[in-house]
């Protein structure tokens, strides 16, 4: 009897899943930054008596945003190997040997993430075209993004699993042309 479901943990993560996780992280990081700014503004105005306005753009707010984004991505990857968006979608960032990223490699990956954007998105082509689905920042840091559902089994829906199992069987079938 065929198994009706197929485990996907450990496979390289696809472009759509990575994109969705990245959007979740951008939204969450932005929300937390704005919320933190409003809270700081409230504390400074009400408690310390210092007049500030969150809506005023300034160089310091820009620097604070860059530092916050670095800490969000680097801290998440260095501590758990996944950002909140990646955790939500069952992704994990590992080194090429399948081990957890070091703090240094997480920092390198985080610093080079914007470079993938600066190159007009060309830094992301490896996710779509590469066998290991690695973006420029993954290549530079020696990392890879894989599906990881932890101790529970992550499974594809039955029709997709059946299709993949049939395809795998056909690829390894020996054809006798004699």
pLDDT in tens, 39-85: 888 888 888 777 777 666 778 888 989 999 999 999 999 999 999 99
Three-state DSSP at 83 gives: coil
DSSP-derived pairing of the beta strands 91-95 and 143-147: antiparallel
Mean pLDDT of the chain: 84
Whether residue 17 has pLDDT greater than 60:
yes
Sketch the domain layout of the chain as residue ranges: 15-171
Give the per-residue pLDDT at 54. 67
User: For the purposes of burial, counting CB atoms within 10 Å of the CB of 104, is it exposed (0-12), middle (13-18) or buried (19 or more)?
Assistant: exposed
Task: Work out whether the CA dihedral 41, 43, 47, 48 comes out positive or negative.
Answer: negative
The radius of gyration of the chain's CA atoms, rounded to the nearest angstrom, is: 21
């Amino acid at each position: 009897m065929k198994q009706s479901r197929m485990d996907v943990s450990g496979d390289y993560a696809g472009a759509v899943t990575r994109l969705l996780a990245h959007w979740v992280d951008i939204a969450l990081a932005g929300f937390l930054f704005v919320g933190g700014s409003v809270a700081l503004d409230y504390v400074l105005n009400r408690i310390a008596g210092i007049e500030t306005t969150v809506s005023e753009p300034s160089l310091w707010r820009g620097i604070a945003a860059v530092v916050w984004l670095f800490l969000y991505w680097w801290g998440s990857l260095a501590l758990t190997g996944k950002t909140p968006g990646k955790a939500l979608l069952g992704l994990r960032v590992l080194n090429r040997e399948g081990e957890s990223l070091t703090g240094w490699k997480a920092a390198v990956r985080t610093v080079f993430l914007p470079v993938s954007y600066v190159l007009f998105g060309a830094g992301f082509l490896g996710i779509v075209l590469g066998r290991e689905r690695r973006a420029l920042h993954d290549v530079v840091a020696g990392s890879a993004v894989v599906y990881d559902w932890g101790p529970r089994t992550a499974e594809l829906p039955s029709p997709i699993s059946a299709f993949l199992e049939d395809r795998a069987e056909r690829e390894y079938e020996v054809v006798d042309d004699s």
